[in-house]
Structure formats: structure tokens, C-alpha cells
Amino acid sequence: MERVQVEETDGMLIVDISQELTMEIVENLKKQFEAFFSRTWQVLALDLSGVKFMDSAGIGFVTALNNRSLHEGRIFCLLNPSEQVTKTLKLVNLWDLFLVFPSRDEIARRFLTGLE
């Protein structure tokens, strides 16, 4: 069962994924994220602090979210990725593709100040 928590506040959609990001999990997450993209938000923050393992499907999923967000003129960022996620993305030379922030407050200060 997927362990995903969603919080929407002031133009930011925060999705906390606390499980492994593997092919089986990603297939189900894709459906959930289709619904998320129909919502109005400026910033999608993917909280990966609870992800202990990510396979190639997980890497592809996170990369696709980043690409779609950019294509739609929205901002995608990783929120406090776990050490394992960080190592994996660096290993496959994708780390620099992402905006990475240690806290929600920092994301809000960077992108959402003055939008209200």
C-alpha cells in the first residue's frame, strides 16, 4: 500500500512519499499524480525524506515529474531527500537537474513570497 501524504497550501502542493520508489509503487503513483496536475499550484515539492530505495522506475518517475512541471510553467523541487535518494541521483548524474531544498519554509520564501 502506498504511503503518500498530500498537503496543499498557498500555491504549493507538498507530496510526502514514505516508501521505496520501485516499479510496482510508481505505477500506482502515476495515477495519483495525474490528479495532482489538474489542481492549481505553482510549486510541487516532493518530500523524499522517507525514501530508502529508488530503482530506475523511481528515477524516471521523479525526472518525469520535473519535466512535466517545467513544461507546464510550474516549479518542481525535491524536499529534504534522504541520503539514499541523494546518492542514487548523484550516481546517475541527475542530481543537478533538480532544485533541492531542506525545508518547506525555504521553498515558500524562494518561490511564493508575495503571491497571496
For residue 8, the domain's CATH number is 3.30.750.24
Compute the average pLDDT of residues 19-41.
Answer: 92
| 56 within domain boundaries | yes
Share of the chain above pLDDT 70, in %: 96
pLDDT at 2 over 80: no
In one-letter notation, the amino acid at residue 64 is: A
Can you point out the beta strands (E) in the chain?
Answer: 4-9, 12-17, 43-47, 75-79, 99-101
Mean pLDDT of the chain: 93
Cα separation, 83 vs 77, in Å, equals 16
| 60 within domain boundaries | yes
pLDDT at 115 over 90: no
CB 110 within 8 A of CB 12: no
| 106 within domain boundaries | yes
Compute the average pLDDT of residues 78-100.
Answer: 97
CB 85 within 8 A of CB 51: yes
Of 37, 40, 32, 39, nearest to 16 (Cα)? 32
| 116 within domain boundaries | no
Structural domain total, the chain: 1
Instruction: Note down the domain range covering 11.
Output: 4-111
CB 44 within 8 A of CB 77: yes
In one-letter notation, the amino acid at residue 17 is: I
CB 17 within 8 A of CB 51: yes
Share of the chain above pLDDT 90, in %: 85
pLDDT for 9 equals 87
| 71 within domain boundaries | yes
